Amino acid sequence: MLKLLIACLLILALTVVTIRHQATASDYSIKEEIAMAAPVLTSDQIDNALNELSGWTLKDDHLHREFKFKSFVEAFGFMSSVALIAESIGHHPIWLNVYDRVTIDLTTHDSGGITSLDVELAKRINGLSK
């Protein structure tokens, strides 16, 4: 049990260092967009975004994707990485973790639908899953 805890902490520490180096100036413009309540995308805009977002689908008016990992520790490490990105842009996922699987749904509650913030977060999440 102690080895698992140490492994999780090590993954989290490495993730923090990696994500901090990936932060870009665009994070600041995204935070400004959040403060102004981003406009909801049209159906055509969502379709165009989905064409560029490998693995993502539209489910119940959310961008939706399911990830499968080799272990719980790997899934947890992925979630830690996503959490750091989400926090850096001020936009957070709806998600579920069951052992080696992570399910993510994205929508912008303040705007009442899918916005460019959801698309941006999905792109960054895809960048982690490669």
pTM: 0.74
33-66 pLDDT, tens digit each: 444 678 999 999 999 999 999 999 999 999 999 9
87-127 pLDDT, tens digit each: 999 999 999 999 999 999 999 988 899 999 999 999 999 99
E strand intervals along 1-128: 57-59, 62-68, 94-98, 101-106
Cβ atoms of 104 and 67 closer than 8 Å: yes
Cβ atoms of 86 and 124 closer than 8 Å: no
What are the phi and psi torsion angles at 99 (to 5°)?
45, -100
